[in-house]
Amino acid sequence: MYSVETKGNKKQKREAEKGEDLKEWECSLWQRGYARVAGIDEAGRGPLAGPVVAAAVILPHEFDLPGLNDSKKLTPARREVLAGRIKEQAEAWAVARVEAEVIDDINILQASLQAMRLAVCGLIIRPDALLIDGRDVIDWSSEAKPFYQIAIVKGDALSASVAAASILAKVERDQIMTAWHEIYPDYGFAQHKGYGTQKHLDALRRLGSCPLHRVSYAPVRELCSRTGARG
């Protein structure tokens, strides 16, 4: 008996190995008694318009999500497929958003952490521990029983549950911005999702800002002050 390793088999093997590598953070916590680990990530810190969206995902100890990775490394179509599978297989998941007006009021870091907190609070199962993408953790000081949490730089490329959260957050935010395109078609939100592309900057120069824009962001503030146009 012998087997032939085809190109397709090699890809499946690489994806399986990647999936196991991504479980190292989770396995470490599971072995320490933290049975339910939630991965937390956000999408939308950089755009000039729209909300910041966060997701929280508790994956089971065994799951089948071939190709799971940092959302930024996946095509939109692949993200959509994986988002559906994540929702089907997750023990719990939730998404939350914080709008541009709040971002302008409290700054994008605090808004991102607020969205993450809301996502965790939206889970139907209380997690035992949190893995958070980035350098900052969530303030649970007002909670009677704060969560054990770890911040992981580039966590969406190192943890399965954080990668899953990054995908849900990105897909949700893209859908939000595509829907807003129907209301504000001249800005091109369906194409750039609020990021500062040349088309978006040109629209800001021509039209000024709309209610979705983050006026605390320098490009929006400066372009609108030059034109005198504000949403």
Domain-embedded: residue 135 = yes
Tell me which H or E stretch contains 104. helix 100-106
Q: How many residues make up the chain in this entry?
A: 231
Domain-embedded: residue 142 = yes
Domain-embedded: residue 196 = no
Q: Are 41 and 54 in contact (CB under 8 A)?
A: yes
Confidence of residue 84 (pLDDT cuts 50, 70, 90): very high
Domain region containing 84 = 17-174
Q: Are 159 and 74 in contact (CB under 8 A)?
A: no
First CA to last CA distance, the chain? 71
Q: Write the pLDDT tens digit of every residue in 42-59.
A: 999 999 999 999 999 999
Domain-embedded: residue 89 = yes
**Strand-pair partners of 54:** 42, 96
Q: Are 170 and 162 in contact (CB under 8 A)?
A: no
CATH number for the domain harbouring residue 80: 3.30.420.10
> What's the structural domain count of the chain?
1
Confidence of residue 3 (pLDDT cuts 50, 70, 90): very low
Q: Rounded mean pLDDT of 159-174? A: 98
Nearest to 149, CA basis, from 179, 180, 120: 120
Domain-embedded: residue 193 = no
Q: Are 59 and 39 in contact (CB under 8 A)?
A: yes
Domain-embedded: residue 116 = yes
Domain-embedded: residue 77 = yes
Is this prediction's pTM over 0.85? Answer: yes
Domain-embedded: residue 164 = yes
